[in-house]
Amino acid sequence: QKSCGPTTINSLRTARRGLTNVPRRQNLQDITITRTGKPIIRTQGGRSALGGHTVTVFGATGFLGRYIVNRLARQGCTVIVPYREEMAKRHLKLTGDLGRVIFMEYDLRNTPSLEESVRHSDTVYNLIGREYPTKNFDLEDVHVEGVERIAEAVAKYDVDRFIHVSSYNADVNSPSEFFKTKGRGEAVARSIFPETTIVRPAPLFGFEDRLLNKLAGVTNVFTSNSMQERYWPVHAPDVGEALEKMIQDDTTASQTYELYGPKNYSTAEIAELVDREIIKHRRHINLPKAILKPTAGLLNKVLWWPVLSADEVEREFIDQKIDPTAKTFKDLGIEPAELSSLTFHYLQGYRSAAYYDLPPATEREKREEKKYLHVLD
């Protein structure tokens, strides 16, 4: 049976707004059968909807994680969130109805805990990644060995779909350890589970990003390449939408997607946009690579909070390259947002209170506000 409800409402909305060129929402079936013969039954109903899927999202506690957990949980999918740290996962509980978001403690080196997390699911997302090596995990542990263990668990329990988030520029021959291990992770995932969908996002921007927030922050940003590296920044909620569409469309299995924004920027150009938006000038200090790279490597080892790592310095010298054979947002029917149209939205919190856009309160208003002084206990 075809679900005509959402399509009809959608076309009415489109007609009312007079927007004829807006792509229509995908016409989803109420019932579908997965590759392994499992029936998926979907019913509409807002927060009490039934999404039909049981989905495990590894790395859900990070920046991108919330944009996919939210989308799945609010349409009634059961979302399993493997976590390491109690406090890091709390915000995800609210994204779905009671019982929809299930937390399971796990460790990337503990195979039984990984298997526990995937065995009841029909789709597994892997968003686990780290920009820098940590005390207990180097990049190889996270991006290659971790992926291997997850892919093996996925294959063992014959999970229908495995969607692995890699990175732009993932390449086994890259001079950057991050890109190299991401490239090897892709190969490992495909060799164990050939139907793996690989997603390579460009640098992400959004509320919790490490791009706009870093450039707008008060701490000086040390760079080596005068911020000349170029890439196509992508809006995190767009990547969330793309990840959601992949589970609804089985033709995305075994495909590779490069998800990038519509406009190419250098970091210096973004820093200029940021300065204009926050009405402040942030200083960025350029140091030679021969000095910054070893210093960053050393600081990254001795300090226990995230600082610039040696590999991040190396990545400053690598521009984003687009793989022409990979699919993009266009193949998923998504129009990606452009960075400059959203900088105000994401950066207004960095403006000084002097630019707060409410008229100043009059003396009378101020007096009336303090009419009563309550003493409650």
Q: Which of 118, 142, 144, 247 binds ligand NDP (CB under 6 A)?
A: 142
Phi (first) and psi of residue 231, to 5 degrees? -160, 175
Q: Which of 51, 65, 240, 336 binds ligand NDP (CB under 6 A)?
A: 65
**Residue 52 binding ligand NDP, by CB under 6 A:** no
Nearer to ligand NDP, 165 or 227 (CB): 165
Pairing of strands 230-231, 39-41: unpaired
Neighbours of 255 (CB within 10 A): 16
Q: Which of 73, 80, 81, 165 binds ligand NDP (CB under 6 A)?
A: 165
Nearer to ligand NDP, 42 or 164 (CB): 164
**Residue 137 binding ligand NDP, by CB under 6 A:** yes
Residues 327, 125: Cα–Cα separation, whole Å: 18
Nearer to ligand NDP, 137 or 222 (CB): 137
Residues 301, 31: Cα–Cα separation, whole Å: 52
Residue nearest to ligand NDP (CB): 62
Query: What are the DSSP E strand ranges found in the chain?
Result: 31-33, 39-41, 54-58, 78-83, 101-105, 123-126, 161-165, 197-201, 204-205, 221-223, 230-231, 234-235, 256-259, 265-266, 284-286
Q: Which of 40, 55, 57, 64 binds ligand NDP (CB under 6 A)?
A: 64
Q: Which of 203, 237, 240, 261 binds ligand NDP (CB under 6 A)?
A: 203
Nearer to ligand NDP, 210 or 276 (CB): 210
Pairing of strands 204-205, 197-201: unpaired
Size of the residue set binding ligand NDP (CB under 6 A):
23
Q: Which stretch binds ligand NDP (CB under 6 A): 34-42, 114-122, 196-204, 284-292?
A: 196-204
* Least CB distance to ligand NDP at residue 126 (A): 8
* Least CB distance to ligand NDP at residue 223 (A): 17
Q: Give, as ranges, the residues between 72 and 131 that touch ligand NDP (CB under 6 A).
A: 84-85, 88, 108, 127-130
Crossing angle between the packed helical segments 177-192 and 146-156, to the nearest 10 degrees: 20
Q: What contacts 179, CB < 8 A, 6 or more positions away?
A: 167, 169, 170, 171, 315, 318
* Least CB distance to ligand NDP at residue 236 (A): 8
Residues 125, 58: Cα–Cα separation, whole Å: 6
Q: Which stretch binds ligand NDP (CB under 6 A): 55-63, 220-228, 281-289, 331-339?
A: 55-63
Nearer to ligand NDP, 76 or 96 (CB): 96
Pick the closest to residue 153 from 104, 199, 201, 200 (CA basis): 104
Query: What kind and span of H or E run contains 268?
Result: helix 267-278
Binding-site ranges for ligand NDP (CB under 6 A): 59, 61-65, 84-85, 88, 108, 127-130, 137, 142, 165, 167-168, 201, 203-204, 210
